[in-house]
Structure 1
Amino acid sequence: MRKLVLAVLAAVLVVARPALAQIYPSHPITIIVPFAAGGPSDAVARILGERMKRSLGEVLLVENVTGAAGSIGVGRAVRAKPDGYTVSFGHLGTHVANGAIYKLGYDLVADLEPVVLLPSNPMIIVSKKDVPAKSLKELLAWLKSRPQPPTAGTAGAGSGSHIAGLYFEKVSGIKLQYVPYRGTGPALNDLVAGQIDIIVDQTSNSINQVRAGTIRAYAVTDTKRVESAPDIPTVDEAGLAGLHMTLWSGLWVPKGTPEEIVARLNAAAVEAMSDPAVKKQLEDLGLQIPPKDQLTPEALGAWQKAEIAKWWPIIKAANVKVD
């Protein structure tokens, strides 16, 4: 009798799962952005969320959950009900680097389902406006001349800006004093105010302040120039060859979320990124949309695992400590 009951329940679940997916979503979806409002992650999530609601028929609400380089926000998403109504937005720092630095209480691969790889951007080396240097070589000379290590803003230990800073130190030989914030948005505010010296920042975060002339830009950490800012040289052109780093982002949902719901979220995100108006908004921020063959959940899962294999040994060798 017990076996019969279990078999009936299993059959009901098989039928119910597609039915749930068909009515999904029936109320607003929350995207957890693990950094402060106003930063680059927040901007991308809001741009995509606004367009995705047209495909999904429901509002996507951005919730900024800050702290511990994004690990607190990711943890909240991991522990959410796997029903498609909580989505984790993250990037190289939150969904790769943090696993090598923090005791997370969750597994970045085993406890999350990948949804889609999102636009990426190279980092950009920027300084406060009153730094006298006009080129990267002059900036390096100015930084080396400081009696104390120059201050560099980050979004916390293991964040993209911190990892980029570590690479900057390694390639340039210049020691930095890191100043952690709850996101690169607040860090950029302090750079504009002249409270810190530099940030190796996401291009999408700094580009508007660079255009406004409130901070100075020296180079992008890529092998080619950013189309939306062609006057900014690459690190190779500017004299710091080899400092190559691209900060990619993605969407995940809690483990156990039905495949049909993952597919709906993926399709909505892919449709959003193919919208000409959205593409222009993202490209104006210096972001690069992934090629079509990299827009499946499987592609994001494989990419995340490859990045863990690449970055974890480097981060652990740098002996990054949590403040």
Structure 2
Amino acid sequence: MILPSRREVLFGAGSLGALTLTSSGVRADTYPARPIRLVVPFAAGGSNDIIARPWADRIGSSFGPVVIENIAGAGGAVGCASVAHAPADGYTLLLGNAGNQVVIPLASTRPSYDSARDFRAIYRLVSSGLAFAVHPSLPVKDLGELVTYGKANPGKLSYGSAGVGTTNQLAGEMFKSQAGLPDIVHVPYRGAAPATNDLLSGQLPLIVAVMTGQLLQLHESGKLRILAVTNERRMAGAPDIPTAIESGMPDLKFDGWFSLFAPKATPEPIISQLAQATRKIMSNTSLLETYRAEVLEPDRDSSPEKAQQIVQREVERLSPLIKSIQLKLE
């Protein structure tokens, strides 16, 4: 083993203390020594990219380069599984959310990974809401009218989502159950971007998608119509959009989140370095403005412990809901 120089030891002790070589053989005082790979488990161009790329750009300028890799499929499960089984050396990370960290593991009959066993939370980047949006040709202006239309036109409604097992699908199935419209067909995509494109072209009447600045702009330009968001209260970045609660569906509420994760065995000094570097850039005015322009609320006070607690709370909250609507993923 090559011993570190006195300067390297002093630097390591001054920044994170003590450990020079982690249990995985990665030197904590020289990490990162090569580009980090951040897996986004959906197709490029969707809401996950909107969150991942600004973070990668900002942190890369001071911490080290980050390469985004989009690995889509199965509502994010394919990309998540690839990270779960990657070397736990800090060079493969995941942008995860409640869909792929909670819903898929709970609802899958044969899960390819387990959130608690396979992942370590690092930092919650942003929170968000989900939007119910329709093509302008659909003659409805709110969720109440959508329910009325669905009952008057059985079998004619379908909704698109970012994939099987996503929070988008969960919200869509919650709507179906609470509205008494079991015949609405779910059409899963490999991300929000292709689903939105099919809505805009008229191939889909309805989508459930993460609320973003792009979606809001499409609403304001009349290219689609956002009926409601699933947040408990109206979003600061979209104050004119009513909540599902206001629209007469008090149990249709869901606040989303997007967090950084690493393989479970990633050494604690590396998790700490990543969290500290992320916390630092989350005070960057430019980054905050970028996220808020996308109707996302940045978290400036997260940590590995807080991010992990969010996952556990969501498991406890969503488990009975998933059972009640009988959501099962093959």
So what's the TM-score if we normalise by structure 1?
A: 0.89
Q: Label 1:238 to 1:288 Cα distance change in 2 as closer, same or farther (>3 A).
A: same
Q: Label 1:302 to 1:219 Cα distance change in 2 as closer, same or farther (>3 A).
A: same
- Please show how residues 185-200 of structure 1 align to structure 2 within 5 Å: 185-200=193-208
2:237 alignment partner in structure 1: 228
1:84 alignment partner in structure 2: 90
CA distance in 1, matches of 2:240, 2:123: 31
Q: How far 1:259 sits from its partner (Å)?
A: 1.2
Query: 1:85 is matched by which residue type in structure 2?
Result: Y
Q: How far 1:15 sits from its partner (Å)?
A: 4.4
CA distance in 1, matches of 2:192, 2:96: 14
Whether the 8 Å contact between 2:161 and 2:188 is mirrored in structure 1 is: yes
Whether the 8 Å contact between 1:157 and 1:320 is mirrored in structure 2 is: no
Percent of counterpart pairs with the same letter? Answer: 32
Whether the 8 Å contact between 1:157 and 1:321 is mirrored in structure 2 is: no
Range moving further from structure 2, 26-35 or 97-106: 97-106
1:141 alignment partner in structure 2: 148
1:128 alignment partner in structure 2: 135
1:154 alignment partner in structure 2: 161
Structure (1/2) with the larger helix percentage = 1
Give the one of 73, 76, 96 matched to 2:79. Answer: 73
5+ residue gaps, structure 2: 1-17
Q: How far 1:107 sits from its partner (Å)?
A: 2.0
Query: 1:185 is matched by which residue type in structure 2?
Result: A
CA distance in 2, matches of 1:229, 1:309: 29
CA distance in 2, matches of 1:187, 1:82: 33
Whether the 8 Å contact between 2:129 and 2:231 is mirrored in structure 1 is: yes
Q: Deviation string for 1:86-130 (max 9, x for gaps)?
A: 001110000011102222233211211111112111111110121
Range moving further from structure 2, 173-182 or 206-215: 206-215
Q: Label 1:27 to 1:219 Cα distance change in 2 as closer, same or farther (>3 A).
A: same
Q: How far 1:14 sits from its partner (Å)?
A: 5.8
Runs of 4+ in 1 over 3 A off after TM superposition: none
Give the one of 21, 24, 30 matched to 1:16. Answer: 21
2:105 alignment partner in structure 1: 99
Over the aligned positions, Cα root-mean-square deviation in angstroms equals 2.0
Range moving further from structure 2, 238-247 or 78-87: 238-247
Give the one of 116, 125, 129 matched to 1:118. Answer: 125
1:318 alignment partner in structure 2: 325
Whether the 8 Å contact between 2:20 and 2:28 is mirrored in structure 1 is: no
- Please show how residues 1-323 of structure 1 align to structure 2 within 5 Å: 15-17=20-22, 20-56=27-63, 58-102=64-108, 103-175=110-182, 176-204=184-212, 206-290=215-299, 292=301, 295-322=302-329
Query: 1:288 is matched by which residue type in structure 2?
Result: E
Query: 1:197 is matched by which residue type in structure 2?
Result: P
